[in-house]
Amino acid sequence: MTSSATAEALPRYSIANTYADPSAASFRFRARRFAHLKPLIEEVIAERGCCRIADIGGTEYYWNIFGAYVEERPIEITLMNLKAPPVRSSKFHSIVADATDLSMFGDRDFDLVHSNSVIEHVGNWDRMSRMAHHVRRLAPVYFVQTPNFWFPYEPHFRFPCFHWLPEQVRAELLMRFNLGFGGRRKSYDAAMRGVQSAALLSARQMRELFPDAKLVTERTFGLPKSFMAIRRPAR
């Protein structure tokens, strides 16, 4: 295989690279969301003296977007993923955990639950409901973000209106083109798995999953791009 063919087969985008590139739109949106997350952390620290965060589906490089904030404050972050990536900072703990079954933790074992663009990846509505149940019980405060189904640009495959097309059409597109973070799929099975790896949510669905949260809308060009379900500390 030639080097050009190898390059063509690789995904055009890397999630880690978009997190590290300040000029990337993904970086800027996540940095802006911190304006909603930071006050939650500060309120917990003010009340408890520290903040224990459960980050469902989180990564250390995601938090690096916020500079030295984590290192300079009494914060401890437990990263929960299906595979536990290594971490560098002692502020982080990386564990193997399924977002839909966090029964190894008790109610209020954490001060804050954080999850950014994860719930749309866990599977069908039943699995989303199970994840939401654990989010709501693990901590008194939570911040859950997800892209909006009705926004005309699909963020995972980086293609306009991709998520509004029938699954069969999306699978064919994934086999023909190098779209998004997963790259061009080599088989129909891989393409279908890619198609079903993300199910975007509407505002109504988010309100149903998180009825005790305030739903904050993130907009771009005046259009609702994503939603943040935020439950603040009890007064």
pLDDT band at residue 7 under the 50/70/90 scheme: very low
> Hey, what domains does the chain have and what are their CATH numbers?
18-152+199-231 (3.40.50.150)
pLDDT band at residue 11 under the 50/70/90 scheme: low
Q: Find the mean pLDDT for residues 15-43.
A: 73
User: What is the 3 state secondary structure string of the chain?
Assistant: CCHHHHHHHCCCCCHHHHHHCCCCHHHHHHHHHHHHHHHHHHHHHHHHCCEEEEEECCCHHHHHHHCCCCCCCCEEEEEEECCCCCCCCCCEEEEECECCECCCCCCCCCCEEEEECCHHHCCCHHHHHHHHHHHHHHCCEEEEEEEECCCCEECCCCEECHHHCCHHHHHHHHHHCCCCCCCCCCCHHHHHHHHCCCCCECHHHHHHHCCCCEEEEEEECCEEEEEEEEECCCC
Q: Find the mean pLDDT for residues 210-216.
A: 98
- The predicted model scores a pTM of 0.87
